[in-house]
Amino acid sequence: MKIALAQQNYHIGNFDLNVQKIISGIQEAKKQGADLVIFSELCVCGYPPRDFLEFNDFINQCYQALDTIKEHADTIGVLVGAPARNPNFEGKDLFNAAYLLYEKEIKAEVHKTLLPTYDVFDEGRYFEPAYDWNVVPFKGKKLAVTICEDIWNMGENPLYRITPMEKLIQFEPDVIINLSASPYNYAQDVVRNGIVKAHTLKYKLPMFYCNTVGSQTEIVFDGGSLVYDSAGNQVAELKYFEEDFGVFELDDLIKETSPQSEDSVKIYYSASEVSAGRDVLEYLKDEKNIAEIRSALVLGIRDYFSKMGFTKAILGSSGGIDSAVTLALAVEALGQENVRAILMPSHFSTSHSISDAEALSQNLQNPYDIIPIKNIYDSFLTELKPIFQDLPFSVAEENIQSRTRGNLLMAIANKFGYILLNTSNKSELATGYGTLYGDMAGGLSVLGDVYKTQVYALARLINKEKEVIPHHILVKAPSAELRPNQKDSDSLPEYDELDTILFKYIEERQGPKELIAQGFDETLVNRILRLVNMNEYKRNQFCPIIRVSYKAFGVGRRLPIVAKYLS
């Protein structure tokens, strides 16, 4: 039996586009002589559909799409993902389902058992878990069909009481198939391969794993669909961050040789296991991780614009590292002519900030404008003089500059239909080092899940073949330039130390006692953790952040604003 994997980029709620893609995948599978073609989880409607699932019309359109697709499943079997209505009165109204379409009919309907409710997932809000488990017969083979999380209940600390494959293995299946929508983080490829390999070793069966690709607002799906033989060997891995297609002979994946022992290979079951025991800065700046992050951010920008129907971006270009990297990535994603940089110097700006920003745009060949803000800033102070009187210069005057820049950027964006890209990095967002409605304004955050040390690593990668980002931007001390001779280090610890503590607290969820026991200064730890927790209110008002780590700010990290813990 020939089985095809169709790794595709869907658009949530765009049924016409999704159906067209699926039909195109079916046609390609037929052309290559496949008996069965596998698509990804909830491919009919796009993942994650979230509260769209609460609309009856949305579910009706899912069923209408299935009716259209099954007309093309005549001589070939088709496995697609879509919601299914629950006929039982008890429980949630929907299942997360996989449908086997063949001979223009729905031959089988498989329901997802394990419904994740951690990090960016909230499936228990919408779906009822499966009631029963059966293999799917097809052309003389028994298919053990699972959906995404159904294969992730492995390791020393499983999250669920039921493991679907333990139910399905009783029916002696011939192959494991998984329809997935597994989001990217820079450890996910290692974990994903580990999970799939663990299944082939444990159950002595070949496995087909079909993942989606593309970005849905803040969540990036990286593809990397897999085929493993029954001896635990990777046979194929589809492309990362782009659509791909492959056809494989099932019989070639069934090995008579002795499979590898489960104990003979190191298998990672979680992202935290991948980073455990490694030097934090070394891990954050790992060349492979940085290259993946670059690809993920470019895909995130490109898909956000294309799926929202926008073409042009704008951003504030300060001559600093964050805006430089954001600009370079945006140009890579959207094209140089579609990214406009605005330089907004104040009387606190250094001359090299302007020249560095100009040199960057000249290297990238993107349009840019210079709008000095001194006169606007001075007019604010004049109008505020009766209230401010002779109080000393403070953060209030600093924030007026930042909000002036935000107003100018949004005015231009409104006038010409641009989307403002935010340039704040994760280190700044974590510690609240930013101005609400000023430099925190934007429609999409490019670097909000990228620590400052990683931003520098991205810049070096961008410059690997030729100097795109001027060298001076990489070597000068970072500064907001909102007061004379200001440096980030005046307000924050050095980024190497700051990012190490932030990663251990945010990603690894280590508390103050654990951090202090590792040798970090107690005063510094308490200060940093307090900054993180007391600035939740700022992040709560922030724009969507492209997610590249396994614990990003936004929908995947839910903390109360009005709280006392560590603040």
Q: In terms of Cα–Cα distance, which of 195, 170, 198 is closest to 180?
A: 195
Query: Annotated binding site for deamido-NAD(+), which residues?
Result: 399, 428, 538
* Residue carrying structure tokens 């294969």: 151
Query: Annotated binding site, which residues?
Result: 118, 182, 316-323, 399, 423, 428, 538
Cα–Cα–Cα angle for 204, 205, 210, rounded to 5 degrees: 140
How far apart CA 82 and CA 95 sit, in angstroms, is 9
Radius of gyration of the chain (CA): 26
How far apart CA 166 and CA 181 sit, in angstroms, is 22
Kindly name the residue from 21, 41, 128, 536 that is annotated as catalytic.
Answer: 41
**Is 285 a catalytic site residue?**
no
Kindly name the residue from 43, 45, 62, 148 that is annotated as catalytic.
Answer: 148
What are the tokens at 268? Answer: 């990672």
The Cβ of residue 427 has, within 10 Å, a number of other Cβ atoms equal to 25
Q: For residue 105, list its beta bridge partners.
A: 102
Please name the amino acid found at residue 393.
Answer: F
What are the tokens at 182? Answer: 């597994």
The strands making up 339-343's β-sheet, listed across from edge to edge, are 368-370, 339-343, 313-316, 419-422, 444-445
Please report, for residues 123, 149, 301, the alpha-carbon distance to residue 51 in angstroms, rounded to integers and kept in the order given.
Answer: 10, 20, 24
Kindly name the residue from 21, 62, 70, 112 that is annotated as catalytic.
Answer: 112
**373-382 contact pairs (CB < 8 A, 24+):** 373/344, 373/345, 373/346, 373/401, 373/404, 373/405, 373/408, 374/345, 374/346, 374/347, 376/404, 376/408, 377/346, 377/347, 377/401, 377/404, 380/404
Please name the amino acid found at residue 103.
Answer: E
- Give the DSSP letter of residue 253: G
How far apart CA 89 and CA 527 sit, in angstroms, is 52
- Give the DSSP letter of residue 46: -
DSSP assignment string, 259-323 = PPPTTSS----SHHHHHTTS-HHHHHT-HHHHHHHHHHHHHHHHHHHHHHT---EEEE--SSHHH
Contact 268, 191 (CB under 8 A): yes
Q: In terms of Cα–Cα distance, which of 164, 170, 250 is closest to 206?
A: 250
Query: Annotated binding site for L-glutamine, which residues?
Result: 118, 182
What sign does the CA torsion over 12, 13, 17, 18 have?
A: positive
**Is 128 a catalytic site residue?**
no
**Is 148 a catalytic site residue?**
yes
- Which residues form the catalytic set? 41, 112, 148
